[in-house]
Structure 1
């Protein structure tokens, strides 16, 4: 048996699979969530594999069945419906003032808007997100999947600066607010972060969000368990 290549520093699911690198199968958790709810939040420390999980979800909801051969979800999923996915990685919004953060959100929105032919967006990040979801829903004829990685990244640096935190929190709360009002047009919303979302009061309107951070059913959704270590890496451990 040949030694497996380890995807150190790689957090894109498709790249790991296409390069034949080691992937610890977490897809059963993804299927469980997709089948049992709409809004989910997962809090984990840095370097726990949250971004890889989000990338795996994106491939799944995009219907890329070919990437999941031999994985748990291949036998669980029967339909493989392709949904439009809006993926926002907030990790690039660190160390910013209020105006810079607004510019960053507008930049990320513009990336998605171009894909759907929106050339004259409304003013304001929340209006743009509403318009984006409505456009995607109308053009695709399907509900939209929204994946938000590291939702709290723009606020972590100022967590103990009351005035600055309040300003950035208002910007982010305003940006995320359409996730509530667009509920009927959304298929699935998954949000990751380091802090509990209740601590920053960002999603106070999303009272139906399922926080799986401390849920035993999802304890192994990120990171590597002892059983996974001994199963997936047994050959290299023996070596």
Structure 2
């Protein structure tokens, strides 16, 4: 019996790797086009762990980087006409799980230093918010394009200490400080997208940023992550049919 031919991206959360490696990708790009062309340029999405938030963020990274080649055959290829390349700052905060104050500050320093070198800035010690502000302005000035900021799992550093009053307060202040430029740098920002498990208002990190659109429970975006029954019956129809044949063969 012939085995299934398409590869499944088990554990792969990078959009470019899935597309370049010919893995199965459930097309969510119509939702992405709708989301990025809405009235809100600050968007938050909450979903449980292992629900596709990181892949969605990676897809946005490729889209705003102008990687038209990765979207061939997808809804985005039909919808998008311009394909403008914007500078993208992508922070994956899932790396900051199980950290204390010192380790969190080192991780933020590592992330900022990497982008500072990319845009020709000398990595310097200092407050994370000032460095992020300088980085956003520099990226805008050097490229002539507004900056896209993607923050995946914004709440990851806090979830492990959410019941530890002292540690929660310390780490929350660090993250609140780090995210604070997102309001002050609005003139230089094209789009800001954040994901997390907890609603952003619960952790009091973005109290100053009052223009975030929370789409977590919005019906038009209900299927932006995960796989729906309809997608299984359409985009995975061939795979489901071959699997059914294999099961019947072995029975």
TM-score (norm. length: structure 2): 0.93
Q: Partner of 1:145: helix, strand, or coil?
A: strand
1:116 counterpart residue number? 119
Query: Is structure 2 residue 25 aligned with structure 1 residue 23?
Result: yes
Contact 1:5/1:20 (<8 A) preserved: yes
Separation of aligned partners in 2, 1:132 and 1:208 = 22
1:60 to partner: Cα distance:
0.4
1:98 counterpart residue number? 101
Separation of aligned partners in 2, 1:155 and 1:53 = 22
Q: Partner of 1:96: helix, strand, or coil?
A: coil
2:221 to 218, 224, 234: 218
Task: Render the CA deviation track for 1:132-177: whole Å, top value 9, x for unaligned.
Answer: 0011000001100000001000000001111110110000000000
Task: Render the CA deviation track for 1:25-84: whole Å, top value 9, x for unaligned.
Answer: 011111111111210000000000100001100000000101101111111111111101
2:77 counterpart residue number? 74
1:3 to partner: Cα distance:
3.0
Separation of aligned partners in 2, 1:226 and 1:113 = 44
1:122 to partner: Cα distance:
5.7
Separation of aligned partners in 2, 1:237 and 1:30 = 26
Contact 2:43/2:193 (<8 A) preserved: yes
1:42 counterpart residue number? 45
Aligned residues: 239
Separation of aligned partners in 2, 1:54 and 1:22 = 17
1:235 to partner: Cα distance:
2.2
1:193 counterpart residue number? 196
Separation of aligned partners in 1, 2:140 and 2:238 = 47
Unaligned runs of 5+ in 2: 244-251
2:159 counterpart residue number? 156
1:33 counterpart residue number? 35
Aligned in 2, Cα 1:235/1:120: closer, same or farther, shift over 3 Å?
closer
Contact 1:3/1:235 (<8 A) preserved: no
Separation of aligned partners in 1, 2:107 and 2:125 = 16
1:96 to partner: Cα distance:
1.3
Separation of aligned partners in 2, 1:104 and 1:62 = 24
1:236 to partner: Cα distance:
2.4
Separation of aligned partners in 2, 1:204 and 1:194 = 17
